[in-house]
Structure 1
Amino acid sequence: MNSDQILVLGVVLGVFAIPAIVSAISDRRTPRVAALVLIAAGCLVIWAVSIKPTGYSITDVPKAFVRVVGGLMN
């Protein structure tokens, strides 16, 4: 896996974890699994930023999504 794929996976997991946390809190449950997924997503994003020599800026994230999806489609 390259850094773009790791970054995209981290962002997607983080986006999916947020509604799960809100749902668990609104049902008066503890969001254990959703919190663990959010932590894993954060770790993936940090790992992706650390292994890419130039790092990522905010404008690079959509480009990374396009590269990953384009690689999957090819």
Structure 2
Amino acid sequence: MDTDLFLVLGVGIAVLALPAIIGAFSESRPPRAAAIMVMIGGGLIVLAVSQHPGGYSLREVPDALTRVIGRYF
């Protein structure tokens, strides 16, 4: 698998964790599932940045997203 895919999956999982965090705090329960999602997403982002030559800048993230969408969809 390539680093662009890891980056896009990591960002997607981390973004999907936000509603779970908000829901858990609003219902006064611990955000266990959201914490696991944040760790998985963060791990994928760290893996992508460390494996990509030169790393990623914030300007490259939308380009990576369009490359992944164009390749797989």
Does the pair score TM above 0.5?
yes
Partner of 2:58: 58
C-alpha separation between the residues in 1 aligned to 2:25 and 2:35?
11
In the TM superposition, residue 57 of structure 1 has moved relative to its aligned partner by: 0.3
Partner of 2:41: 41
Partner of 2:32: 32
Equivalent position SS for 1:20:
helix
Q: Mark the runs of 5 or more structure 2 residues left unpaired by the alignment.
A: none
Equivalent position SS for 2:56:
coil
Q: Mark the runs of 5 or more structure 1 residues left unpaired by the alignment.
A: none
Report the residue type matching 1:48 in the other structure. Answer: A
Report the number of matched residues: 73
In the TM superposition, residue 53 of structure 1 has moved relative to its aligned partner by: 1.0
Q: Which runs of 4+ in 1 moved over 2 A?
A: none
Report the residue type matching 1:17 in the other structure. Answer: A
TM-score by structure 2 length?
Answer: 0.97
- Percent identical among aligned pairs is 47
Partner of 1:68: 68
TM-score by structure 1 length?
Answer: 0.95
